[in-house]
């Protein structure tokens, strides 16, 4: 009997121990806040050479991250923390440092996400917090970065600078006869100044994404439309993350993935801003846009991405005929083709078109513009710790407001960039 | 003291009718004549065929690497156990809701692995609940004679002579059950069997984040 008991104990132990280990492992798997897998960090070092006019970051009308300079920057140093609260409930916080930004350190996206494990083709989830609405088709890299090029399109550069919201987003997808349909609905606060830069500076192409405390510089000088209309009521910097009117904005997106190598999405965004709201030099802008996105898998190694955006934005008092003192329509489109080489590198070409139409007070505040750009980028992941990138970008644009800074309305600019991205 | 447990030994006699093996070469092309990779080719003898324990016991691996499953298609015999090692720095949450074998492995990180035994023939579509763009398939077959095509679209099976069914399964084949099959008889020497199947390109995952 004793011998029997003696044999049973290890037998029991050997049965219970793995069970206990399974419990421990699954408990660990469920909640993991500060494990190494919850962190990602990188530093993107950038060398650039740009000719032409002064950049918008320096108060000019330049369309790129730099203008008329050679520069070395920390394009982005980031720590991405993704705590796992349960198996299906997680957090996301990106803290970034950008050496050439007006406010260098800030929290970009920060949200809670719930994603139940699908039990059928139907799936759903939600996000709550500070985030970019799902407009960009280019920002599918880790931490809302662009894996195909260094500089995103004009459309998605603008999303990155002026369309950061704080809200609740729900999404659901289902398959019907081989067609995958998705619906995303978002309600948000903040983002009441969206449209400020797009009107007074115009479209731009750069990869600086906004954070909660970001300030974006407007073109300098007392001859600027914004100063001639609003005087000291408008600050010389725009803050994209302010709430001015207490109104809720919304966005809605439809996704369609037919049984073919294409995916289509259509989105409407409206911040329902009050154009008469004014606080601390920040005006409310009533901004609405529509975005159409198309992805097409040409071959297993080649893809085509396109977006078209059209919208309008207005601020200030009404002038009659449905227009306000600052009132613009904007549109942009790009065609991008990306090829994945056998060595893992990506070669991408993109052509952008962008335009702003000004509907009011053009004599004192002409915000109209048209422009085109061509981008060629080569991105190469060298190993687990290092990515290399090189890019050439040429932009041509016509913006009469440049004359307020003594420049020709028509300008062109070429920028070369080399990126070394270290993953820590 | 010595403990003796009764052991029941079952002796299996090789069937007197054990056929001699013959090579059966198969080429899988798409509608435009290009080779199709990741097609699972199976030969099922008319009278069926038992799967040897050694075949079931082989090491089958469906890894997660560079935020992708590898391989895209893994063929295993019914009764096999598949390991799912995570070779990425990030966590993965592998799941399937396929009727053949619904399961999930809640989040696990780098260097860890999970295993699952697949008893029921059929196809198991895999996903990762963290990374929507990850997708792969496990094809559980009911015969010991199977292989998966590489980039050249070719396999050669060593099968017993006699009648049976030759089938080609691909996750994106545009047929019911994603399969094309034909009955034939295997002799000592066999012509290369060529399948021309319609494979659908899958929707791009760009812009999913």
pLDDT digits (tens, 9 = 90+) for B147-180: 999 999 999 999 999 999 999 999 999 998 999 9
Query: In this model, does residue B2 exceed pLDDT 50?
Result: no
A255 is a domain residue: yes
Measured between beta carbons, the chain B residues lying within 8 angstroms of A343 are: none
pLDDT band at A96 (very low <50, low <70, confident <90, very high): very high
- Write the pLDDT tens digit of every residue in B123-148: 999 999 999 889 999 999 999 999 99
Measured between beta carbons, the chain B residues lying within 8 angstroms of A152 are: none
| CA dihedral sign of residues B108, A91, A210, A397 | positive
Same structural domain, B157 and B184: yes
The whole-number pLDDT of residue A35 equals: 87
Query: In this model, does residue A19 exceed pLDDT 70?
Result: no
In chain A, the residue whose alpha carbon lies closest to the alpha carbon of B91 is A37
| CA dihedral sign of residues A194, A197, A199, A203 | negative
Query: In this model, does residue B7 exceed pLDDT 70?
Result: no
Cα of A22 to nearest chain B Cα, Å:
11
> Which residues, in sequence order, are CB contacts of B89 under 8 Å at separation 6+?
A36, A37, A40, A384, B110
CATH number for position A265: 2.40.160.10
The parent domain of residue B76 ranges over 51-142
Query: In this model, does residue A13 exceed pLDDT 60?
Result: no
The whole-number pLDDT of residue A410 equals: 98
Cα–Cα distance measured from residue A4 to residue A47, given in angstroms and rounded to the nearest whole number:
75
Q: Domain total for chain B?
A: 2
A344: left (phi over 0), alpha (psi -120 to 50) or beta: left
Segment B2-21 mean pLDDT = 44
A42 is a domain residue: no
Measured between beta carbons, the chain A residues lying within 8 angstroms of B108 are: 25, 29
Cα–Cα distance measured from residue B143 to residue B121, given in angstroms and rounded to the nearest whole number:
9
| Helix or strand (DSSP H, E) at B199 | none
| Boundary-marking domain end, from B99, B127, B142 | B142
pLDDT band at A240 (very low <50, low <70, confident <90, very high): very high
Cα of A290 to nearest chain B Cα, Å:
17
A260 vs B200: CB contact, 8 Å cut-off? yes
- Write the pLDDT tens digit of every residue in A342-357: 999 999 999 999 999 9
A260 vs B201: CB contact, 8 Å cut-off? yes
Measured between beta carbons, the chain A residues lying within 8 angstroms of B87 are: none
The whole-number pLDDT of residue B176 equals: 87
Measured between beta carbons, the chain B residues lying within 8 angstroms of A296 are: 204
A137 vs B104: CB contact, 8 Å cut-off? no
List residues of chain B with CB under 8 Å from any CB of chain A. 1, 89-91, 93, 95, 97, 102, 104, 106-110, 127, 129-130, 133, 200-209
The whole-number pLDDT of residue B209 equals: 63
A118 vs B91: CB contact, 8 Å cut-off? no
Share of residues in chain A with pLDDT > 70 (%): 93
pLDDT band at A100 (very low <50, low <70, confident <90, very high): very high
A108 is a domain residue: no
* Strand runs labelled E in A245-385: 249-257, 262-270, 278-279, 282-283, 286-297, 302-320, 323-340, 346-358, 369-381
B90 vs A40: CB contact, 8 Å cut-off? yes
Helices and strands: H and E segment counts in chain B? 1, 17
In chain A, the residue whose alpha carbon lies closest to the alpha carbon of B67 is A142
The whole-number pLDDT of residue A300 equals: 85
CATH number for position B37: 2.60.40.1120
Segment B66-84 mean pLDDT = 97
A409 is a domain residue: yes
Same structural domain, B59 and B133: yes
A251 is a domain residue: yes
Share of residues in chain A with pLDDT > 90 (%): 89
ipTM greater than cut 0.95:
no
The whole-number pLDDT of residue B9 equals: 32
| Helix or strand (DSSP H, E) at B55 | helix B53-56
pLDDT band at B19 (very low <50, low <70, confident <90, very high): low
Same structural domain, B163 and B188: yes
The whole-number pLDDT of residue A26 equals: 43
Segment A321-336 mean pLDDT = 97
Q: Which of A40, A115, A303 sits opposite B129 (nearest CB)?
A: A115
Q: Which of A134, A261, A384 sits opposite B202 (nearest CB)?
A: A261
SS3 string, A386-401, reads EEEEEEEEEEEEECHH
Q: Determine which of B35, B36, B206, B208 to mutate to test the interface with A (most A C-beta atoms within 10 Å).
A: B206
Q: Do residues A213 and A242 touch, judged by C-beta distance below 8 A?
A: no
| Boundary-marking domain end, from B142, B160, B185 | B142
Query: In this model, does residue A419 exceed pLDDT 60?
Result: yes
A85 is a domain residue: no
> What pTM did the predictor assign?
0.89
Query: In this model, does residue A27 exceed pLDDT 50?
Result: no
pLDDT band at A156 (very low <50, low <70, confident <90, very high): very high
**Size of chain A in residues:** 424
The whole-number pLDDT of residue B17 equals: 42
Q: Domain total for chain A?
A: 1
Query: In this model, does residue A120 exceed pLDDT 60?
Result: yes
Cα–Cα distance measured from residue A402 to residue A415, given in angstroms and rounded to the nearest whole number:
20
Query: In this model, does residue B3 exceed pLDDT 70?
Result: no
Cα–Cα distance measured from residue B192 to residue A198, given in angstroms and rounded to the nearest whole number:
64
B118 is a domain residue: yes
Cα of A66 to nearest chain B Cα, Å:
27
The parent domain of residue A157 ranges over 120-423
| CA dihedral sign of residues B45, B51, B54, B55 | positive
* Strand runs labelled E in A100-241: 105-114, 123-131, 165-176, 179-189, 216-217, 237-238
Measured between beta carbons, the chain B residues lying within 8 angstroms of A292 are: none
Of A19-23, A225-229, A283-287, B90-94, least confident by mean pLDDT is A19-23
Measured between beta carbons, the chain A residues lying within 8 angstroms of B93 are: 87, 117
What's the whole-number average pLDDT of chain A? 92
Report the half-sphere exposure of B19 (CA within 13 A, side-chain side): 18
How far from the centroid of its chain's Cα atoms is residue B53's Cα? Answer: 16
Segment A308-323 mean pLDDT = 96
The whole-number pLDDT of residue A360 equals: 95
The whole-number pLDDT of residue A293 equals: 97
Q: Determine which of A146, A263, A304 to mutate to test the interface with B (most B C-beta atoms within 10 Å).
A: A263
B35 is a domain residue: yes
A213: left (phi over 0), alpha (psi -120 to 50) or beta: alpha
pLDDT band at B15 (very low <50, low <70, confident <90, very high): very low
Query: In this model, does residue B5 exceed pLDDT 80?
Result: no
B109 vs A262: CB contact, 8 Å cut-off? no
In chain A, the residue whose alpha carbon lies closest to the alpha carbon of B106 is A87
The whole-number pLDDT of residue B158 equals: 96
List residues of chain A with CB under 8 Å from any CB of chain B. 3, 25-26, 29-30, 32, 35-37, 40, 84, 87-88, 115, 117-121, 134, 136-141, 144, 180, 257-263, 265, 293, 295-297, 303, 305, 384
A107 is a domain residue: no
Cα of A383 to nearest chain B Cα, Å:
11
B79 is a domain residue: yes
| Boundary-marking domain end, from B106, B122, B142 | B142
Residue B10: is it exposed, middle or buried by C-beta count within 10 angstroms (0-12/13-18/19+)?
exposed
A182 is a domain residue: yes
In chain B, the residue whose alpha carbon lies closest to the alpha carbon of A344 is B66
Q: Which of B104, B130, B204 sits opposite A263 (nearest CB)?
A: B204
Q: For residue A333, what are the β-bridge partners?
A: A308, A353
Q: Do residues B28 and B173 touch, judged by C-beta distance below 8 A?
A: no
**A41, A46, A75, A77 from A422: Cα distances, Å:** 8, 11, 12, 9
Measured between beta carbons, the chain A residues lying within 8 angstroms of B1 are: 3
pLDDT band at A37 (very low <50, low <70, confident <90, very high): confident
Same structural domain, B126 and B160: no
Q: Which of A35, A180, A297 sits opposite B201 (nearest CB)?
A: A297
Q: How many CB pairs under 8 A join A and B?
A: 94
Q: Which of B89, B130, B201 sits opposite A261 (nearest CB)?
A: B201
């Amino acid at each position: 009997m004793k011998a029997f008991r003696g044999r049973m104990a290890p037998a029991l132990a050997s049965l219970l121990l793995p069970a206990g280990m399974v419990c421990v492992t699954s408990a660990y798997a469920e909640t993991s806040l500060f494990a190494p897998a919850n962190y990602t960090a990188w530093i993107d070092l950038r060398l650039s050479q740009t000719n032409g006019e002064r950049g918008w970051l320096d108060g000019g009308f330049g369309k790129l991250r730099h203008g008329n300079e050679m520069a070395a920057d920390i394009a982005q140093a980031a720590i991405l923390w993704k705590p796992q609260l349960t198996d299906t409930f997680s957090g996301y916080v990106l803290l970034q440092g950008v050496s050439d930004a007006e406010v260098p350190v800030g929290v970009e996206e920060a949200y809670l996400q719930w994603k139940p494990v699908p039990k059928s083709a139907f799936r759903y989830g939600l996000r709550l917090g500070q985030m970019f609405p799902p407009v960009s088709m280019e920002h599918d890299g880790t931490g809302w970065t662009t894996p195909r090029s260094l500089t995103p399109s004009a459309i998605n550069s603008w999303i990155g600078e002026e369309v950061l919201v704080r809200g609740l987003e729900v999404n659901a997808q289902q398959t019907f006869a081989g067609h995958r349909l998705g619906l995303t609905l978002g309600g948000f606060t903040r983002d009441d100044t969206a449209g400020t830069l797009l009107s007074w500076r115009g479209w731009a192409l750069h990869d600086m994404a906004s954070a909660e405390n970001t300030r974006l510089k407007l073109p300098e000088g007392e001859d600027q439309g914004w100063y001639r209309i609003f005087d000291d009521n408008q600050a010389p910097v725009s803050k994209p993350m302010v709430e001015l009117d207490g109104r809720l904005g919304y966005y809605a997106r439809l996704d369609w993935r037919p049984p073919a190598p294409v995916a289509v999405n259509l989105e409407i965004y409206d911040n329902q801003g009050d154009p008469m709201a004014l606080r601390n030099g920040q005006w409310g802008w009533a901004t609405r846009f529509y975005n159409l996105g198309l992805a097409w898998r040409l071959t297993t190694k080649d893809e085509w991405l396109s977006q078209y955006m059209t919208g309008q934005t207005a601020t200030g008092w009404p002038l009659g005929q449905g227009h306000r003192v600052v009132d613009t329509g904007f549109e942009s489109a790009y065609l991008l083709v990306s090829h994945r080489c056998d060595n893992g590198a990506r070669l991408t070409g993109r052509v952008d078109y962008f335009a702003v139409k000004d509907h009011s007070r053009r004599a004192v505040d002409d915000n109209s513009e048209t422009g085109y750009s061509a981008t060629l980028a080569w991105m190469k992941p060298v190993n687990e710790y290092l990515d290399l990138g090189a890019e050439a970008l040429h932009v041509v644009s016509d913006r009469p407001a440049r004359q307020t800074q003594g420049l020709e309305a028509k300008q062109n600019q070429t920028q070369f960039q080399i990126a070394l991205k270290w993953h820590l | 003291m010595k403990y003796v447990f009764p052991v029941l030994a079952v002796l299996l006699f090789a069937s007197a009718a054990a056929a001699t093996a013959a090579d059966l070469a198969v080429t899988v092309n798409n509608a435009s004549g290009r080779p199709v990779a990741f097609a699972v080719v199976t030969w099922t003898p008319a009278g069926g065929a038992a799967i040897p324990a050694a075949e079931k016991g082989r090491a089958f691996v469906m890894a997660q690497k560079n935020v992708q499953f590898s391989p895209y298609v893994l063929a295993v015999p019914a009764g096999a156990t598949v390991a799912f090692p995570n070779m990425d720095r990030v966590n993965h949450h592998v799941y399937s809701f396929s009727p053949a074998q619904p399961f999930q492995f809640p989040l696990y990180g780098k260097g860890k692995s999970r295993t699952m035994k697949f008893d029921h023939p059929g196809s198991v579509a895999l996903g990762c609940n963290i990374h929507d763009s990850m997708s792969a398939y496990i094809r559980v077959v009911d015969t010991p004679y199977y292989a998966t095509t590489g980039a050249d679209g070719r396999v050669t099976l060593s099968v017993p002579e006699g009648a049976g069914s030759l089938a080609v399964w691909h996750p994106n084949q545009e047929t019911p059950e994603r399969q094309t099959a034909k009955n034939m008889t295997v002799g000592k020497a066999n012509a290369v069997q060529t399948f021309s199947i319609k494979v659908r390109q899958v929707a791009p995952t760009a812009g999913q984040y």
